[in-house]
Amino acid sequence: MAKATFHRRFDATDTKRGISVRIEPTDGPQTFPAWIIDRAVQAGAATREQTKPARRAKSSEVKDGTA
């Protein structure tokens, strides 16, 4: 899943999958499958949000189970 902020209403349709999704704009990012986000960005209806990399556990947290 990918995140993007939508600036205007966007209708995503995939005839091969038989899926149609209407997305309304909001103030914050929304989560949708990557193919929808890619099409919305191409159409200028959305801006993709950069994902934060997962935090790696310290070796001491893994060994003794403390956080």
**Residue 9: per-residue pLDDT:** 97
pLDDT at 62 over 70: no
User: To 5 degrees, how large is the angle CA 40–CA 3–CA 11?
Assistant: 30
Q: How many residues does the chain have?
A: 67
Q: Does residue 30 belong to any structural domain of this protein?
A: yes
Q: Let me know if residue 20 belongs to a domain.
A: yes
Which token pair is 27? 């103030």
57 burial (CB, 10 Å; 0-12 / 13-18 / 19+) is exposed
How many domains are contained in the chain?
1
Give a yes or no: residue 60 inside a domain: no
Domain of 17 in residue numbering reads as: 2-50
Residue 64 binned pLDDT confidence (cut-offs 50, 70, 90): low
Tokens 């929304």 locate to: 30
* Mean pLDDT score of the chain: 86
21 within domain boundaries: yes
Is residue 14 in some structural domain? yes
Q: Answer whether 0.85 is exceeded by the pTM.
A: no
Residue 39 domain-assigned (yes or no): yes
